[in-house]
Amino acid sequence: MEKQEKIYGYARVSTREQNEDRQIIALKEMGVPESNIFLDKLSGKNFERPQYKKLLRKLNEDSVLYIKSIDRLGRSYRDLSEQ
């Protein structure tokens, strides 16, 4: 039986006033099902974000994660490499 990859997307905006539409549209265009898109409206200063943590629990070796821009994941390259 062949393993099937699961496709996920992550989007983040820093404040509730910012609009996440461009990120969501881009993720959908990459083939990410809307039900597999996780969105946080929080600062990128750390990884203490509820939807990001929920996403991490779903990922496994067969998962593909799309993020429109690496800065949506985090600010610090050191922190990003640890993730």
What CATH number should be reported for the domain holding residue 56? 3.40.50.1390
Domain contains 20: yes
- Higher pLDDT residue, 65 or 3? 65
Domain contains 14: yes
Amino acid present at 64: V
Domain contains 13: yes
Going by pLDDT thresholds of 50, 70 and 90, the confidence category of residue 70 is confident
Q: 41-65: string of b/e by CB count within 10 Å (b at 16+)?
A: ebebeeeebebbeebeeeeeeeeeb
69 noted as active-site residue = no
> Which domain does 66 fall in, by range?
6-82
What per-residue confidence (pLDDT) applies to 1?
47
* pTM greater than 0.95: no
Looking at the structure of the chain, the number of domains it has is 1
Q: Which of 14, 35, 43, 63 is catalytic?
A: 14
- pLDDT, tens digit (0-9, with 9 covering 90-100), for 2-56: 556 799 999 999 887 788 999 999 999 999 999 999 999 988 888 889 999 999 9
Please provide the distance, in angstroms rounded to a whole number, between the alpha carbons at the two ends of the chain.
31
- Higher pLDDT residue, 58 or 3? 58
